[in-house]
């Protein structure tokens, strides 16, 4: 039996877009047809060398590198799978010759610099007010010139001037200077009429000396390192204002989409940790360059960086080996706050600049969760609050001013498009909101940037599930409703698998319908059940007669979904819609808060002793809770008394 074209899969990463092989077009042409615009100056003629892609699997079924490619890609790169999109195509004859039974699967990585369309990376969010108290202070002093009568050494004369500017400093016996800048002082003083600007960290450590008065140029940067996306906020540390923001896809994606893949990669080879570390450091340095050039400042006048990220991202960023996080009992190297000199991390800010990493809570609940708590200030709430941060991993926080508990669930990736047949990340052309008319099952939808649709992103998936329920296309157990599967919106694939057509062939940029399969619904059920059962387990762990009174939805996904529909499918508890708040990139805002107010870092450390960590999957009731939560909205409808629509929706 010959392998059929329609069974040959091409996955484009990191946008998680899957297509099937159809003709012998180049990858450049395939991407153009998908309406995914990529960088090219020559328009696909093979001359500009801009459309470089990384073939991560399927290399042997491609045409060999052309002379045009050999001109712009070196041998090592070619060996590693780098090609020009416009010169590379799939050779079906080669496939037929090499493979008899199993259809091949291609994985094509599109590097950051190739993608023209910005991804929808969430950078903003609810920003509770925080007192401004930077750890960085720049102080301009004019040193006294030395004489035989007053022959004080250079450093001591500067200190005298500094103490007369800020008398309270003199009490700090531990005031020190970074040794590597000490030797620059004599020349700065003598060449600049003894005028010098000192940068002081935490009232304790002189980390920079600059000639003249440079107090105006005083910056910090806050980073949120996600598994998939990275955001950086450049902040003026004289006034606390955000000067510019930049974000990009995490280049580590080239080595693995999710944390487990990356941990496996690190375990394979000693040098792989360095590769991932270099990838994330390069990303941060890119963001530093972009934000500073937007603000027209020198990167070396950034004196502090604060970082949040999940435990694995935290470790890789610091160059710490995270492999034990991936193995039971899931042990990080270190949990607490860390302050590390930028030079030790190769971060291109001031060489003695301080890099602060917020503390981790546990193996899979990281500094990003601390960031969410800090920015949402759950620990000050009177009402018991459930906060869920939905990224590639999901974290659940339940707390108020008295109690605080967290847990994690590996459930987010479905909602970023992984494992969903026509799923994709929130990017141009992805369907983000959906309505289904229950009478005729007509579908209306919107897409990001109003492009022709090419797939469905997370918020679209929540919508489509809720709408299919309301239209009784699916039952509470997630099955297609057998009563209506003869409707023209259904197609039968391979004579067996039924799919619901969301967008018809002719309306898409693809060569095919965009559909929802039974398998897709199962993935959504698994994801939403993980969140719901997770929060139930934590509530039971807290033990008392408690009730969730408000919900915070954090993260990009949490920000864009229809909150009511999230409740409707049973992802979050049944509370009034006006008590559900979408708080945006709360982790990133937590990083900003740490930068804006140094005492928040002590708070972060102190939170650790307050937080109860619940290892959800090992609690004995987990299996039962998880199974019950697979139903829409739940096996027990009593948990969702407000959703009266369910009275009409069949159970099985």
Binding region for a second copy (CB under 8 A): 146-148, 151-156, 179-180, 182-183, 185-186, 318-321, 324, 328-336, 338, 340-341, 344, 360, 362-363, 613, 615, 618
Grouping H, G, I as helix, E, B as strand and the rest as coil, residue 259 is helix
The residue (of 336 and 564) whose beta carbon lies closer to a second copy is 336
Beta carbon of residue 277, minimum distance to a second copy (angstroms, whole number): 11
> What is the crossing angle of helices 586-596 and 367-376, to 10°?
80
Beta carbon of residue 328, minimum distance to a second copy (angstroms, whole number): 7
Both tokens of residue 396?
A: 């659940």
189 neighbors 154 (Cβ within 8 angstroms): yes
* DSSP codes of every residue in 142-157: EPPPP-SSS---HHHH
Beta carbon of residue 493, minimum distance to a second copy (angstroms, whole number): 43
Sign, CA torsion 400/401/402/406 = positive
In this structure, the strands spanning 490-493 and 497-503 are antiparallel
The residue (of 344 and 511) whose beta carbon lies closer to a second copy is 344
Strands of the 52-57 sheet, one edge to the other: 17-20, 9-13, 105-109, 52-57, 82-84
Beta carbon of residue 171, minimum distance to a second copy (angstroms, whole number): 15
Beta carbon of residue 329, minimum distance to a second copy (angstroms, whole number): 4
The residue (of 147 and 578) whose beta carbon lies closer to a second copy is 147
Both tokens of residue 398?
A: 């339940």
The residue (of 167 and 329) whose beta carbon lies closer to a second copy is 329
Beta carbon of residue 607, minimum distance to a second copy (angstroms, whole number): 15
**DSSP H/E element including 53:** strand 52-57
Beta carbon of residue 330, minimum distance to a second copy (angstroms, whole number): 6
Beta carbon of residue 274, minimum distance to a second copy (angstroms, whole number): 11
Contacts for 501-508: CB closer than 8 Å, 24+ residues apart? 502/422, 502/431, 502/434, 502/443, 502/445, 502/456, 502/464, 503/431, 503/443, 503/445, 503/453, 507/452, 507/453, 508/452, 508/453, 508/454
Q: Of 94, 93, 74, whose CA–CA distance to 84 is shortest?
A: 74
The residue (of 50 and 343) whose beta carbon lies closer to a second copy is 343
The residue (of 196 and 234) whose beta carbon lies closer to a second copy is 196
The residue (of 352 and 592) whose beta carbon lies closer to a second copy is 352
The residue (of 77 and 202) whose beta carbon lies closer to a second copy is 202
CA–CA distance, 296 with 243 (Å, rounded to integer): 10
List residues bridging with 382 in a β-sheet. Answer: none
The residue (of 83 and 335) whose beta carbon lies closer to a second copy is 335
Beta carbon of residue 351, minimum distance to a second copy (angstroms, whole number): 13
Beta carbon of residue 638, minimum distance to a second copy (angstroms, whole number): 33
**DSSP H/E element including 312:** helix 311-318
Would you give the DSSP letter of residue 524? Answer: H
The residue (of 396 and 502) whose beta carbon lies closer to a second copy is 396
The residue (of 183 and 296) whose beta carbon lies closer to a second copy is 183
Q: Between the CA of residue 421 and those of 7, 16, 457, 461, 619, what are the distances in Å? A: 13, 10, 11, 11, 32
Beta carbon of residue 156, minimum distance to a second copy (angstroms, whole number): 5
Beta carbon of residue 150, minimum distance to a second copy (angstroms, whole number): 8
395 neighbors 378 (Cβ within 8 angstroms): no
CA–CA distance, 230 with 309 (Å, rounded to integer): 9
CA–CA distance, 210 with 189 (Å, rounded to integer): 10
Beta carbon of residue 130, minimum distance to a second copy (angstroms, whole number): 22
CA–CA distance, 34 with 28 (Å, rounded to integer): 10
**DSSP H/E element including 314:** helix 311-318
The residue (of 350 and 565) whose beta carbon lies closer to a second copy is 350
Q: Between the CA of residue 487 and those of 290, 475, 510, what are the distances in Å? A: 52, 16, 23
The residue (of 54 and 333) whose beta carbon lies closer to a second copy is 333
List residues bridging with 235 in a β-sheet. Answer: 220, 242
CA–CA distance, 188 with 622 (Å, rounded to integer): 65
């Amino acid at each position: 039996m010959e392998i059929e074209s329609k069974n040959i899969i091409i996955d484009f990463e990191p946008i998680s877009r899957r297509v099937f092989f159809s003709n012998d077009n180049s990858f450049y042409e395939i991407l153009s047809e998908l309406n995914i615009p990529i960088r090219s100056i020559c328009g696909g003629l093979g001359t500009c060398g801009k459309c470089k892609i990384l073939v991560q699997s399927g290399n042997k079924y491609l045409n060999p590198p052309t002379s045009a490619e050999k001109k712009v890609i070196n041998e090592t790169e070619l060996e590693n799978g780098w090609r020009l999109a416009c010169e590379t195509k799939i050779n079906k004859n080669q496939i037929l010759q090499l493979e008899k039974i199993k259809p091949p699967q291609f994985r094509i990585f599109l590097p950051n610099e190739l993608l023209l369309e910005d991804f929808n990376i969430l950078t903003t969010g609810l920003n509770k007010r925080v007192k401004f108290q930077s750890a960085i202070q720049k102080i301009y002093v004019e040193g006294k010139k030395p004489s035989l009568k007053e022959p004080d050494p250079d450093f001591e004369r500067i200190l005298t001037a500094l103490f007369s500017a800020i008398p309270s400093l003199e009490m700090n016996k531990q005031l020190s200077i970074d040794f590597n800048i000490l030797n620059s002082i004599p020349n700065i003083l003598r060449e600049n009429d003894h005028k010098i600007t000192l940068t002081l960290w935490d009232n304790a450590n002189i980390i920079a000396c600059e000639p003249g008065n440079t107090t105006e140029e005083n910056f910090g940067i806050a980073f949120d390192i996600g598994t998939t996306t990275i955001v950086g906020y450049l902040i003026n540390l004289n006034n606390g204002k955000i000067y510019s923001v930049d974000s990009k896809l995490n280049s580590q994606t080239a080595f693995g989409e999710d944390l487990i893949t990356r941990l496996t990669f690190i375990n394979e080879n000693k040098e792989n940790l360095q590769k991932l570390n270099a990838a994330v450091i390069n990303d941060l340095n890119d963001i530093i360059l972009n934000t500073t050039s937007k603000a027209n400042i020198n990167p070396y006048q950034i004196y502090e960086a604060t970082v949040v990220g999940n435990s694995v991202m935290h470790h890789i960023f610091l160059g710490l080996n995270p492999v034990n996080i991936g193995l039971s009992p899931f042990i990080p190297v270190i949990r607490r706050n860390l302050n590390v000199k930028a030079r030790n991390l190769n971060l291109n800010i001031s060489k003695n600049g301080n890099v602060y990493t917020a503390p981790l809570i546990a193996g899979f609940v990281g500094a990003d969760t601390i960031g969410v708590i800090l920015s949402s200030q759950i620990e000050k709430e009177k009402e018991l609050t459930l906060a869920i941060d939905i990224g590639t991993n999901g974290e659940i926080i339940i707390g108020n001013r008295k109690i605080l508990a967290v847990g994690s669930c590996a459930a987010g990736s479905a909602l970023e498009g992984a494992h969903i047949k026509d799923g994709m990340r929130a990017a141009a052309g992805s369907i983000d909101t959906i309505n289904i008319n229950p009478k005729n099952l007509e579908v209306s939808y919107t897409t990001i940037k109003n492009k022709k649709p090419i797939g469905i992103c997370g918020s679209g998936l929540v919508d489509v599930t809720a709408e299919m329920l309301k239209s009784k296309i699916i039952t509470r157990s997630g099955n297609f409703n057998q009563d209506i599967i003869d409707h023209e919106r259904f197609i039968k694939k391979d004579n067996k698998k039924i799919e619901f057509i969301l967008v018809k062939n002719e309306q898409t940029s693809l060569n095919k319908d965009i559909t929802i399969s039974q398998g897709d619904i199962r993935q959504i059920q698994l994801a939403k059940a993980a969140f719901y059962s997770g929060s139930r387990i934590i509530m039971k762990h807290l033990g008392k007669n408690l009730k969730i009174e408000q919900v915070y939805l954090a993260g990009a996904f949490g920000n864009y979904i229809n909150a009511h529909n999230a409740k409707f499918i049973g992802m979050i508890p049944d509370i009034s819609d006006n008590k559900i708040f979408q708080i945006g990139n709360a982790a990133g805002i937590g990083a900003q808060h740490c930068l804006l107010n140094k005492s928040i870092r002590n708070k972060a450390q102190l939170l650790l002793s307050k937080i109860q960590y619940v290892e959800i999957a090992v609690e004995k009731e987990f299996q039962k809770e998880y199974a019950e939560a697979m139903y829409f909205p739940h096996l027990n409808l009593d948990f969702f008394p407000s959703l009266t629509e369910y009275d009409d929706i069949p159970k099985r």
